[in-house]
Structure 1
Amino acid sequence: MENDVTSIILNDEDGNEVEFDVITKLDIEDKEYVIVVPKDDEETDEAIVLRIDKDKEGNDLLVTVEDDDEFAIVSEAYETLFGEDGELN
């Protein structure tokens, strides 16, 4: 069975392109979030939470969630849906 994981390419702080696998998309309190992990990094199991905002032209813009409370809300929603093992509940 083939894996239906969506990948996106983002630029890191040094301007290098890094490919990420999108684990899931969450809608929380009228905001949209994606959970991503580096595609080819077998050494880390650390996911990154990104909020989907819109720019002035209405295009999607991915923003790192830096607010601790907002991050906690998204993390809790993810764990409720997927559990600690990452499997859908």
Structure 2
Amino acid sequence: MAEELEVITLVDENGEEQDFEVLDILEIEGSTYAVLLPLGQDEESEDVLILKFSQDEEGNEILVDLEDDEWEKVADLWEELHLKEDNSH
């Protein structure tokens, strides 16, 4: 049986909706990150999006962009975990 995809729809700054597959949710140093891939893209694609869970002024959960150094840290960790999973099969 195929694994069911978890899909999230994000709205960009232009009001355009785009669907993403949730590849992983990571917790690093007290922050939670979502590793997302545009729906229909291959997992090896360079289009992987990493966003951080945060809250807006009203306390609603939102996803925000990362600073470059934070993005690199999360991407490297996710890649390490992903490679371990691949090697364990």
TM-score where L is the length of structure 1: 0.82
User: Hey, which of these two has a bigger chunk of helix by percent?
Assistant: 2
Give the unaligned 5+ runs of structure 1: none
Summarize deviations over 1:29-63 as a string: whole Å, max 9, x none: 10000000110346x81200000001233221100
Cα offset for 1:88? 7.2
- 1:6 aligns to 2:6 (yes or no): yes
Q: Give % identity.
A: 31
Q: CA RMSD in A?
A: 2.2
Match of 2:63 in 1: 62
- 1:39 aligns to 2:39 (yes or no): yes
- 1:18 aligns to 2:9 (yes or no): no
Match of 1:87 in 2: 86
Amino acid at match of 1:75: A
TM-score where L is the length of structure 2: 0.82
Match of 1:49 in 2: 50
